[in-house]
Amino acid sequence: MKEIVKDINLVAYCGLYCGACGAYIKGRCPGCHENVRAKWCKVRSCCIENSYSSCAACQKHSDTQDCQHFKGKIVKIIGFLLNSDIKAGIDMIRTNGLEKYVEFMAENRLQKLPRRGKNKGISIK
């Protein structure tokens, strides 16, 4: 079993932190950037096509909700299943930078930020 490490390469294109994901830690998933079977993910495909490390690097849309890929069904389903505010993760990366985001997520053992108002007390210091 792997440990939770601080690695910017483990931030998924949508902002989830693979480094704290149970499937990644148990060796059942290589993480978003290495998962060649995830061709179904339009966010991942867009980021690869545009050489973005994540949606946070996109300059086309200042708000992820303006992006057709980010507001698509897959992101909504993943957000629902994981009880995740995926947009909050991207916003946190944009505000604080990738390195601070990774440090925060790894230190707090978080794969995602919770949704439904639970992020109000979560901030990077």
pLDDT digits (tens, 9 = 90+) for 45-96: 999 999 999 999 998 988 888 888 877 777 778 778 888 888 899 999 999 9
Tokens at 18, concatenated: 């693979």
Among candidates 13, 1, 4, which has minimal Cα distance to 78?
13
Examine residue 82 and state whether it is found in any structural domain, yes or no.
yes
70 near 14, Cβ under 8 Å? yes
Q: pTM for the full model?
A: 0.84
What's the domain count of the chain? Answer: 1
Examine residue 89 and state whether it is found in any structural domain, yes or no.
yes
Checking if the pLDDT of 122 tops 70, the result is no
Q: Helix axis angle, 86-96 relative to 98-107, nearest 10°? A: 120
The Cα–Cα gap between 11 and 13 comes to 6
What distances in angstroms separate CA 107 from CA 3, 4, 66, 103, 110, one per listed residue?
12, 8, 31, 6, 8
Percent of the chain whose pLDDT exceeds 90: 58
Domain housing 13: 8-114
Examine residue 123 and state whether it is found in any structural domain, yes or no.
no
Q: Indicate if the alpha-carbon torsion angle 84, 112, 13, 57 is positive or negative.
A: positive
pLDDT at 100: 96
56 near 16, Cβ under 8 Å? no
Examine residue 119 and state whether it is found in any structural domain, yes or no.
no
Checking if the pLDDT of 119 tops 60, the result is no
For the chain, first and last CA: distance in Å?
Answer: 30
